Amino acid sequence: MDLPKHDLHHVLPMPESWDAPPRGRVVCFAPHPDDECAGPGGALHKHRRQGDPVRIVIATDGRAGDPDGKYDPATYVERRRQESERAMAILDCHDLEFWNLPDSCVITDADVGGIALRVAETVRAFDADVVYAPWEGEANSDHRAIYCGVLRGLRQLGFRGVALGYELWGLMVPDVVLDISNVFERKLEAMRQYETQLAYVDYLHTVTGQNAHRSVIFNKGVGYAEAFRRIAVATD
């Protein structure tokens, strides 16, 4: 069957290929403790290697990450916090902020508004040039809520820097792909710190597969990459 004519000419552009992330002061917003590594962990470590200050904001307490009750609920939230602290230390990211929002709750527009206010204040206080957040197509309600809150907060702030959405559960058509080959083993070592989550999903396997696939746009020799979409902050 013939395709409609307009489809024959609708070819998506190839993403930009980056060897290094943009320089500047960086804030990364993560919905849960482990998203900051599984998504943009390679980029964050490359920022630190080039001397960029990095602040990690982990929005929820991660309490819903143990549906089978494998761990003591009295210490589970603190355990997840410590996992993030160990993982980020491996990536040389020591400035972490935990908002301790409830994990996996029904999100209202008022909730997103509250997140937006905190996003704007964090970005303003840190004087950020580069912001990372989950991309808009994430297949998880908390991920989507943080994306919406970040977008709204950056618009309220009139942010003019670089805002990039990273992928976790929902694969994107990227605008940018960053070579992380020289830091990938460090990212995997950081991922190994999230023992509570590895008890449920083999994230070492999934992250390896995802980052290996994203290297396809590079020449041979680049083994791993992270993909990003630009967050459309400007409305004019």
pLDDT average, residue stretch 16-24: 97
Topology annotation, domain 22-230: Rossmann fold (3.40.50)
Q: What percent of the chain has pLDDT over 90?
A: 83
CA distance 10 to 14: 13
pLDDT class for 108, splitting at 50, 70, 90?
A: confident
pLDDT of residue 4: 56
Read off φ and ψ for residue 143, nearest 5 degrees: -60, -45
State the pTM of this model: 0.93
Look up residue 54 and give its amino acid.
V
Give the domain ranges of the chain. Answer: 22-230
The three-class DSSP label of residue 34 is coil
pLDDT tens digits, 122-146:
999 999 999 999 999 988 888 999 9
Q: Which residue has the higher pLDDT, 196 or 221?
A: 196
What are 204's two structure tokens?
């070492």
Chain mean pLDDT for the chain? 93
Residue 10: CB atoms within 10 A of its CB come to 9
Find the mean pLDDT for residues 201-209: 98
Q: For 84-99, what is each residue's pLDDT tens digit?
A: 999 999 999 999 999 9
